[in-house]
Amino acid sequence: MRAKVRALLGVLLMAAGGFASASVGQAEEPAPCPAATVSAQWQAQPEGSAPGPPRKYRIPVTVTAPAGCTANGTVRYRVVDGKAHGVFPEFSADNGSDYGADPSMPLMGELSWKGSLETQYVDVAVNQDFLPEQNEAFWLELFEPSGLVVAEDRVPNAVNDDDGKPPPDAVVVAPDGKICWKYCEVPVYGFGFGGAQAAANGSQTMTVHYRTVEGPGGPVGYVPVRDAVLTLRAGQPLTKAKVQLLPIDREVKFEIEFFEPAGGKLGMRRTVVTIKPWR
């Protein structure tokens, strides 16, 4: 009888050990990779003065993923005029007259990644000329992602005039339609200053003030900004307008207004921000 009991206990212990081993094995399995994030990277490039065909303006689109993971998915893109998202007409690069004349560089298309993290590029044909004019910008938009998460969906791309004497002023713009949760940082870009041009017009540094503009119901879901100052420098032409958010249970919109620029000009005056509910 005792022998049978010992044998039964041995079987139970072996089974328990097997279950434990299986549990340990399952715990060691790596977690599935989350969707990679995709971002458009803003550029500021010279227009060019050489006669002949348009110049290729390359815009990087990057993906990021946790260590050991890759990107698998697609995202669509399109190039639109600066004035489509609030840039003043005099600083807007326009399809046809300023860019888009070469059909081999389409202004709408799709980018895809299959198990890689390689940077891809959107090429835009920029028209070269000898005419002194303002620095101008167009937008690259990313939309309809599949298997990816869009981090930066809209960025300006500056076409800096290189024919003016003296060079034109620096310009500051910000993307319209920013969506925020929990915290809000709106990118603010300066272009058209730096290097020889900055030395020529004295704009090595540009400052601009910003404030929030409330709707009819007053400030809801954020702490108002009355007067804050941003600084953009040659070599560091990107900063962020920050607004502290508060918990809300409904979607709220407000505007950020830019004013009192020094060392350059405003390329746009206001940008709309949307706060999504969070707690």
H-only helix segments in the chain: 2-27, 195-201
Q: Are 44 and 161 in the same domain?
A: yes
> Does some domain include residue 151?
yes
SS3 190: strand
Mean pLDDT of 142-163: 91
pLDDT for 261 equals 94
Q: What is the pLDDT of residue 9?
A: 46
171, 161: one domain:
no
pLDDT at 262 over 70: yes
Tokens of 151: 């981090």
Residue 260: half-sphere exposure toward Cβ, Cα within 13 Å: 8
The count of domains in the chain is: 2
Do both 279 and 204 map to the same domain?
A: yes
Could you tell me what percent of the chain has a pLDDT over 70?
83
DSSP E strands in the chain: the ranges are 36-40, 43-46, 55-64, 71-81, 108-116, 120-126, 136-146, 148-152, 154-160, 171-173, 178-180, 183-191, 205-213, 228-233, 238-244, 252-262, 265-266, 270-275
> What's the pLDDT score for residue 230?
96
18: pLDDT strictly greater than 60? no
Neighbours of 77 (CB within 10 A): 22
Q: Greater confidence, 122 or 192?
A: 122
Whether omega before 156 lies within 30 degrees of 0, making that bond cis, reads no
Question: Does the residue 5 lie in any domain?
Answer: no
> Among 16-25, 114-123, 153-162, which stretch is predicted with the lowest mean pLDDT?
16-25
- Cross-strand partners of 241: 186
CATH number at residue 53: 2.60.40.2030
Answer with the residue of higher pLDDT: 273 or 278.
Answer: 273
153 falls within a domain: yes
Asked which of 11-20, 69-78, 144-153, 173-182 is least confident by mean pLDDT, the reply is 11-20
What percent of the chain stands above pLDDT 90? 56
Cα separation, 94 vs 52, in Å, equals: 19
Do 43 and 151 have their domain in common?
yes
* Final residue in a domain of this structure, among 115, 148, 165: 165
End position of a domain, from candidates 165, 181, 200:
165
Q: Average the pLDDT over 111-139 and give the result.
A: 92
Are 151 and 179 contacting, i.e. CB atoms less than 8 angstroms apart? no
Q: How confident is the model at residue 257 (pLDDT cuts 50, 70, 90)?
A: very high
pLDDT tens column, 69-123: 999 999 999 999 999 999 999 999 999 999 999 999 999 999 999 999 999 999 9
Q: Which of these, 186, 241, 244, 248, lies nearest to 220 by C-alpha position?
A: 248
| pLDDT value, residue 165 | 65
Q: Give the residue numbers spanning the domain of 38.
A: 29-165
Residues 152 and 198 in one domain: no
User: Is the Cα dihedral 119, 120, 122, 127 positive or negative?
Assistant: positive
Task: Sheet containing 120-126: give its strands across.
Answer: 120-126, 55-64, 36-40, 148-152
109 shares its domain with 206 = no
Distance CA 160, CA 167 (A): 9
CA distances from 126 to 56, 197, 207, 250 (A): 6, 21, 29, 42
- Mean pLDDT value across residues 204-213: 92
Q: Are residues 43 and 145 in the same domain?
A: yes
- Judge contact between 222 and 254, C-beta under 8 A: yes
